[in-house]
Amino acid sequence: MIDAKDNGSIIQLFHVHKYYGSKKALVDISLNVSKNEFIFISGPSGAGKSTLLRLLYLGEPVSEGQILVDGMNLSRISRKKIHLLRRKFGIVFQDYKLISTKTVFDNVALVLEASGKKRKFIEKKVRSVLRTVGIEQKINALPPGLSGGEQQRAAVARAVVGIPKIILADEPTGSLDSDSADIILNLLKNFHAHGGTVIVATHDKELIRKAGGRILHLKQGHLYFPG
């Protein structure tokens, strides 16, 4: 069996495979992510970056192999306990996944409500996070009324608001101009500086160059460790 208690790892993958029918999206991936690492997963579109992130929060099950996250073995998490895994993550989805019928405020507040925070605290916290990402004036807008960049910033706000252990960001700057992208990058760096672990999937070479950190390459489902 696998034992993850003794080292500083927060995420471990052991010979993970993911197939969609006969299509191999990920092939034999083993990876160790230490606590407080800042990792970029780079690679062209279709390489399997989003799929890899999905496996981490049990958006989908692995086809083969094992994954441990912060002491939890993903293949043993029951339906009823899955929210405990998800609360370890703040996730910026590639397609944002904002609830279109709820305001920006409610979308971001949802994370805190779900973990049972007090109304007053939620009010204050959500406002301050929205201010940080620069969409405070859109607090009562519905997501369909926002530009792509604004939606992305709302998604980032939702990912950081609950102060998770790990942030997974799938193309978090994909719809942003470079100034806005800098704001997001600084936010992630700040989160990292406070002890958080960050995994960013992106094909944006410019972003990687600016940020620094550990870089992994995905190509046709294979993971390469440079150097």
Query: Interaction with other proteins in 33-62: which residues (CB under 8 A)?
Result: 57, 59
Partner that binds at residue 110, options Mg ion, ligand ADP, other proteins, none, CB closer than 5 to 8 Å by kind: other proteins
Task: Verify binding: residue 20, ligand ADP, rule CB under 6 A.
Answer: yes
- Stretch 143-172 residues interacting with other proteins (CB under 8 A): 158, 162
Binding pattern to ligand ADP, positions 49-88, x when CB under 6 A?
A: xxx-------------------------------------
CB half-sphere exposure, 52, CA atoms < 13 A: 35
Give the torsion through C-alpha atoms of 118, 120, 126, 132, to 10 deg: -130
Among the listed residues 50, 107, 152, 202, the single contact to Mg ion using CB under 5 A: 50
Strand spans (E) along 54-210: 64-69, 72-73, 89-92, 166-170, 197-202
Residue (104 or 167) nearer to ligand ADP, CB: 167
Taking the least distance from each CB to other proteins, the nearer of 42 and 107 is 107
Tell me: does residue 92 bind other proteins (CB under 8 A).
no
Least distance from C-beta 69 to ligand ADP, angstroms?
19
Question: Edge to edge, what strands does the sheet with 222-224 contain?
Answer: 89-92, 166-170, 197-202, 38-42, 214-219, 222-224
Query: Could you tell me the smallest distance in angstroms from the CB atom of residue 129 to other proteins?
Result: 14
Helices 178-193 & 119-133, crossing angle to 10 degrees?
A: 130
Written as one letter, the residue type at 131 is R
Contact status: 111 vs other proteins (CB under 8 A): yes
Burial class (CB in 10 A: 0-12, 13-18, 19+), 199: buried
Residue of the chain from 5, 6, 23, 225 that contacts ligand ADP (CB under 6 A):
23
Residue length, the chain? 227
114 binds, among Mg ion, ligand ADP, other proteins, none (CB under 5 to 8 A by kind): other proteins
DSSP for 6-57 reads SSSEEEEEEEEEEEETTEEEEEEEEEEEETT-EEEEE--TTSSHHHHHHHHT
Residues in touch with other proteins (CB under 8 A):
57, 59, 79-80, 82-83, 86-87, 89, 91, 93, 97-102, 110-111, 113-115, 119, 158, 162
